[in-house]
C-alpha cells in the first residue's frame, strides 16, 4: 500500500535516507548516448547539495536506475536568512520571461519575493525535504531526455523508494552497498574504478591532493592514522565519511572515529566477496569490525541480503534494539528490517 512520504521520512527518527529510482520498464535510459546522462546526474547532485539543506553521502548511477544516500539538515535551513532562502530557490526556479526562458536572479526580483513571507516559509520548508530534492534531481533530466528522444511520458517509474537508515553500521552498509552496485552487477572488477559512484569521487579527490599515502595510513585505527586523516575530505562536496567535528573540522561527517581509509578497506573486502566468494580478513579489517561491534560474518550476511533480494521494507538497522526503539516512537508493534536483513 502506498504511504504518504511524510509518514516515511521523519528527521526526529533519523536524518539518513537511502533513495532509489528506476527508469520505466527497467529500460537502459541512463546510458551515455546521445548524451552522458550519468554525468549529468552526478553534476546535478553536486549542484543540489550546494543549494538544499540536504547532504549527499553516497551515489551510484547505473544504466537503468540510481541510488542516493542523503542526510537531512533542517537546522542548516533554519539558520538561513530569508534572502538566502530566496536566492537558493532562485537557482532552482529562476524568474522567466513570456517565452518561458530563464532570467537572471536580480536584486529587484529577490526584494519582490521577500514581500511574501508565506512563500518564503514554503521555500525554506521545501529546501530541506527529501521529496523536493529528488524532484529537482529527476524532473529536469526526464524533460531533457524526452526532448532528446523526441518522446513524452514518464522517464522514471512511479515515485522513488526511500529507506530510513537507523544506525551507524547500517549507514556504512548502505553506503558500501551503493558503492558496490557496479561490482555486484559485474560491470567493473574493483569499486574505485566504477564510474559515476561516490567511492570513485572520494578516491579521485584524495589523488588530486597527492595524499594517497595518507589514505593508506588512515586505515589504521591509531592516533597516527587519525592524524593522517585530517583534511582528506574537507573540501569534497560529498559528506565526509569520518565525522571530525570534535577534532579539526566544522563539517559533519557520517561516523565519528571511522576514517575514509577504513571505509575503503571495508569496501575492498566486500568487493572481493562479491567477485570471488571469499576474502582474507587482515588485522586492520578485524580491528574495523571490532570498532563497529560487529563481525565479518554479520557484515557479509547483511550486504549479501541487500544485493540479492528485492529491497522490501522502509527501515534498515543493524541493531534489533534500534528497530524496537523506532517502533515505539512511531507507535507500532513491530518494524521489519529492510529485505529481511539480520540484526544483532
Contact 146, 111 (CB under 8 A): no
Q: How many CA atoms lie within 13 A of 63 on its CB side?
A: 10
Please list, in sequence order, all residues whose beta carbon lies within 8 angstroms of the beta carbon of residue 214, skipping any fewer than 6 positions away. Answer: 206, 228, 229, 232
106: cell is: 536580480
Q: Which range, 176-180, 294-298, 339-343, is most confident?
A: 176-180
Distance CA 71, CA 238 (A): 11
What three-state secondary structure class fits 239?
coil
201: cell is: 569521487
Q: How confident is the model at residue 146 (pLDDT cuts 50, 70, 90)?
A: confident
pLDDT tens, residue by residue, 202-225: 999 999 999 988 877 776 666 666
Q: How confident is the model at residue 35 (pLDDT cuts 50, 70, 90)?
A: low
Q: Which range, 63-72, 272-281, 327-336, is most confident?
A: 63-72
Q: What is the DSSP code string of 225-238?
A: HHHHTTTTTTT-SS
Share of the chain above pLDDT 90, in %: 61
Q: How confident is the model at residue 151 (pLDDT cuts 50, 70, 90)?
A: confident
pLDDT tens, residue by residue, 230-253: 889 999 999 999 999 988 899 999
Nearest residue to 128 via CA among 53, 56, 78: 53
What three-state secondary structure class fits 102?
strand
Whether the per-residue pLDDT at 196 is higher than 90: the answer is yes
pLDDT tens, residue by residue, 46-105: 999 999 999 999 999 999 999 999 999 999 999 999 999 999 999 999 999 988 899 999
What three-state secondary structure class fits 312?
coil
More confident residue, 130 or 222: 130
60: cell is: 551510484
Amino acid at each position: 500500500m502506498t504511504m504518504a512520504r511524510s509518514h516515511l521520512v521523519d528527521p526526529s527518527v533519523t536524518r539518513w535516507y537511502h533513495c532509489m529510482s528506476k527508469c520505466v520498464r527497467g529500460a537502459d535510459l541512463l546510458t551515455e548516448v546521445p548524451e552522458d546522462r550519468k554525468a549529468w546526474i552526478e553534476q546535478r547532485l553536486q549542484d543540489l547539495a550546494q543549494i538544499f539543506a540536504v547532504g549527499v553521502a553516497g551515489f551510484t548511477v547505473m544504466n537503468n536506475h540510481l541510488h542516493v544516500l542523503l542526510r537531512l539538515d533542517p537546522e542548516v535551513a533554519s539558520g538561513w536568512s530569508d534572502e538566502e532562502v530566496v536566492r537558493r530557490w532562485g537557482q532552482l526556479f529562476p524568474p522567466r520571461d513570456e517565452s518561458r526562458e530563464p532570467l537572471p536572479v536580480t536584486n529587484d526580483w529577490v526584494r519582490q519575493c521577500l514581500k511574501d513571507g508565506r512563500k518564503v516559509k514554503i521555500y525554506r520548508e521545501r529546501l530541506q525535504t527529501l521529496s523536493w530534492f529528488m524532484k529537482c534531481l529527476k524532473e529536469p533530466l526526464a524533460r531533457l531526455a524526452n526532448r532528446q528522444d523526441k518522446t513524452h511520458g514518464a522517464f522514471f517509474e512511479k515515485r522513488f523508494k526511500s529507506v530510513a537508515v537507523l544506525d551507524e553500521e547500517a549507514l556504512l552498509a548502505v553506503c558500501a552497498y551503493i558503492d558496490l552496485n557496479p561490482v555486484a552487477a559485474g560491470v567493473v572488477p574493483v569499486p574505485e574504478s566504477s564510474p559515476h559512484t561516490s567511492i570513485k569521487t572520494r578516491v579521485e579527490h584524495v589523488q588530486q591532493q597527492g595524499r594517497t599515502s595518507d589514505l593508506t595510513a588512515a586505515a589504521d585505527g591509531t592516533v597516527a592514522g587519525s592524524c593522517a586523516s585530517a583534511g582528506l575530505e574537507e573540501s569534497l562536496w560529498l559528506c565526509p565519511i569520518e565525522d571530525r567535528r570534535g577534532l579539526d573540522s566544522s563539517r559533519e561527517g557520517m561516523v565519528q572515529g571511522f576514517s575514509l581509509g577504513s571505509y575503503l578497506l571495508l569496501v575492498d573486502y566486500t568487493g572481493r566477496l562479491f567477485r570471488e566468494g571469499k576474502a582474507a580478513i587482515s588485522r586492520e579489517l578485524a580491528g574495523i569490525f571490532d570498532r563497529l561491534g560487529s563481525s565479518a560474518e554479520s557484515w557479509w550476511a547483511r550486504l549479501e541480503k541487500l544485493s540479492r533480494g528485492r529491497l522490501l521494507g522502509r527501515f534498515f538497522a543493524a541493531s534489533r534494539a534500534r528497530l524496537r526503539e523506532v517502533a515505539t516512537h512511531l507507535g507500532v508493534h513491530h518494524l521489519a528490517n529492510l529485505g529481511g536483513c539480520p540484526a544483532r
